[in-house]
Amino acid sequence: MTTPPDDDSIRPFEVSVDRDEIDDLRRRLERTRWPDQLPDSGWEYGTERESLRELCEYWHEEFDWAAFEDRCNEFEQYETTIDGQRVHFYHVRSPEPDATPLVLSHGWPGSVAEFLDVLGPLADPAAHGGNRADAFHVVAPSLPGFGFSGPTSEQGYDVPRVADTVAELMDRLGYDRYVAQGGDWGGLVTALLGANYPDRVEAIHTNMLFVNPSSLEAEDPTELLDEQGWADYEATAEFRDGETAYHEIQATKPQSLAYGLTDSPAGLAGWIVEKFRTWSDCDGDLDAHFDRDRLLDNLSVYWLTGTINSSMRIYYETDVGAATPDAVDVPTGHARYPAEVYKTPRAWAEAVYDIRHWCEMPEGGHFAAMEVPDLFVDDLRSFLGEFD
């Protein structure tokens, strides 16, 4: 992919997978050197070998590439160039002329493919058993450095710069007022849109709320916590203690890791699939929770675009404490999915955000739009539908 450095036009985009790329992937999968695994260790040390082997065999032998293209191309896609960087995005205009503009921002190790099951219901609710009044004009970009936007080409592409890119994209599309939604890094993108563009962003909705405890107006932020707040704090601390080695590697030496993940599709799958199992509401049964093709859609986007390195690099570039806004004054809705790995105590959230909506979801986790698309859509409608 080559990016015209100064071309701010909006150009149609279509996913097309070259046969040579498929053949190369299959050769690499066929020649995978599998590591040993200790008896009866399961997923304790990381991705379980036989589960990964089965997934890779399916990717090698049965994954339908034509169906993958069809899923990716079901909705209109475009690309443009912002700040010298290619930006790919879905732009799904609702048939309802008064629909509210909505921008969706994904995170890592997801991609814009997370949203494929919700684009239709959000844009055309009447065609999916919903109310026409709940319609959105949906924009879903591949964040810079991820997927079809291609790798970033210079240092400094942190989350605040990504948020500014998303704001410029919405401006370029002619949306002077809109609402925003995001989770994971997309949650921080969404918070920054609300904090930095309150004249344009009417409301935000997140699956994950970013708060810097040291910025709160309390000598000891834990003094603000009630019983539930303490439970949230302790659950998040437990996750950080036992499950964030990936973050430390990607925030310090992403390039070293990228060689293996860029060269080996099995290595890429092993690194990403474990996160989907651990961070989702699957109770350890990944196959029962996620359609295998949808998991491989996400993996295939990373593989075909060669963006695992640049997607990880955002951890190196971003100082989360400095990037997290001290105040977000636009109306904010939050969906708390039970398996979400970062649980921000409500008292902390209310000290930073203008919380108008807080919903304890009955199921779902970090990848809510993929895991429970109906619940994801319903909660967005119940809150963001108020703003038009």
Tell me the catalytic residues. 184, 316, 366
Cβ atoms < 10 Å from Cβ of 40: 6
Contact call for residues 346 and 229 (beta carbons, < 8 A): yes
Q: Find, among 274, 272, 290, the residue nearest to 282 by Cα.
A: 290
- Range list of β-strands (E), 337-385: 353-360
Angle at 294 (CA atoms; ends 292, 295), nearest 5 degrees? 65
Angle at 128 between CA 123 and CA 129, to 5 degrees: 125
32 contact partners, CB below 8 Å, separation of at least 6: 56, 264, 265, 266
Q: What angle do CA 188, 112, 314 make, to 5 degrees?
A: 45
Q: How far from 96 is each of 28, 74, 133, CA to CA, in Å?
A: 47, 19, 8
